[in-house]
């Protein structure tokens, strides 16, 4: 496996060059792309996938604005991630937020 975490993260998220997110089949995509390293990669991805963003107050912010704040937070915390991986994680947060 490459030392660049972006490739497996983008496979997991189903992200392409637009930073999109495909919510179903994440584990399956990763297992197909990295059959020999799957377990190790899952462990490496955990810190990124566990990152949360809990807005303090929704009265003045939209979902898009909060996603933008999350992008900034991810860029600061994980400088090793490229823009597509960060956008994919932010889209995942937006999709999963309840």
CA 14 to chain CA mean position, Å: 10
Whether residue 44 lies inside any domain: the answer is yes
Rounded to the nearest integer, the mean pLDDT of the chain is: 87
41 and 34 Cβ atoms separated by less than 8 Å: yes
Q: pLDDT tens digit string along 23-62?
A: 888 999 999 999 999 999 999 999 999 998 877 766 667 8
Number of domains in the chain: 1
Query: What residues have CB less than 8 Å from 85, skipping those under 6 apart?
Result: 5, 6, 9, 10, 13, 15, 48
The answer to the question of residue 71 being in a domain is yes
pLDDT at position 7, please? 93
Region 64-88 average pLDDT: 92
- The model's pTM is 0.85
Q: What is the domain extent for residue 22?
A: 6-96
Integer Cα distance of 58 and 1 in angstroms: 41
Task: Say if 1 falls within a structural domain.
Answer: no
Q: What percent of the chain has pLDDT over 90?
A: 56
């Amino acid at each position: 496996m490459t030392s660049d975490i972006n490739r497996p993260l983008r496979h997991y998220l189903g992200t392409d060059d637009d930073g999109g997110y495909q919510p179903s089949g994440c584990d399956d995509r990763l297992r197909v792309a990295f059959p020999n390293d799957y377990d190790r990669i899952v462990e490496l991805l955990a810190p990124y996938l566990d990152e949360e963003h809990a807005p303090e107050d929704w009265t003045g912010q939209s979902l898009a604005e909060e996603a933008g704040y999350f992008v900034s937070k991810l860029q600061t915390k994980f400088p090793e991630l490229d823009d597509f991986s960060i956008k994919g994680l932010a889209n995942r947060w937006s999709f999963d937020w309840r």
